[in-house]
């Protein structure tokens, strides 16, 4: 993809209807440390970024999240998880969709200083939908 675009597709929330606000499904590949912090938030928020992490990047494609969790998180951490969550679509319009090397390899780049506000626009809970471990 050449440059950022705004192509977010609203979806029905997987969580029980709390509001009639349209949401977009996002995925996030994550390792065990970050997942433990998400669990500590009652599965409702992403933890603050570390100093060397200026951007929080959820992805727009489950397959891309699976590839990152399986191919990067497992070798780095011994386990990789894919999470799924819903965010208010109107709020997400401020973040351009960015291509990261292919037609279906799409991310949102949320500046670390905006993550707390981003978390306030999550609808429902963050859920783990896949887990990967080293193959024996």
User: Which of 117, 44, 114, 39 lies closest to 85, judged by CA?
Assistant: 44
Tens-digit pLDDT profile for residues 39-67: 999 999 999 999 999 999 999 999 999 99
pLDDT at position 6, please? 39
The whole-model pTM stands at 0.83
Q: How far apart are CA 21 and CA 12, in angstroms?
A: 10
Window from 100-104, 117-121, 128-132 with minimum mean pLDDT: 100-104
Mean pLDDT of the chain: 87
Distances in Å between the Cα of 9 and the Cα atoms of 6, 56, 76, 78 are 9, 20, 32, 33
Per-residue pLDDT reduced to its tens digit, 74-117: 999 999 999 999 999 999 999 988 887 777 788 999 999 999 99
């Amino acid at each position: 993809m050449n440059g950022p675009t705004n192509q977010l597709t609203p979806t029905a929330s997987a969580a029980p209807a709390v509001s009639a606000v349209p949401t977009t499904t996002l995925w996030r590949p994550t390792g065990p440390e970050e997942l433990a912090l998400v669990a500590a938030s009652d599965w409702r928020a992403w933890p603050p970024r570390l100093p060397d992490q200026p951007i929080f990047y959820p992805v727009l494609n489950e397959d891309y999240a699976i590839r990152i969790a399986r191919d990067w998180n497992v070798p780095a951490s011994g386990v990789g998880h894919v999470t799924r969550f819903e965010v208010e679509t109107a709020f997400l319009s401020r973040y351009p969709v960015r291509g990261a090397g292919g037609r279906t390899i799409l991310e949102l780049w949320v500046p670390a200083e905006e993550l707390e506000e981003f978390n306030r626009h999550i609808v429902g809970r963050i859920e783990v939908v896949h887990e990967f471990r080293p193959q024996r």
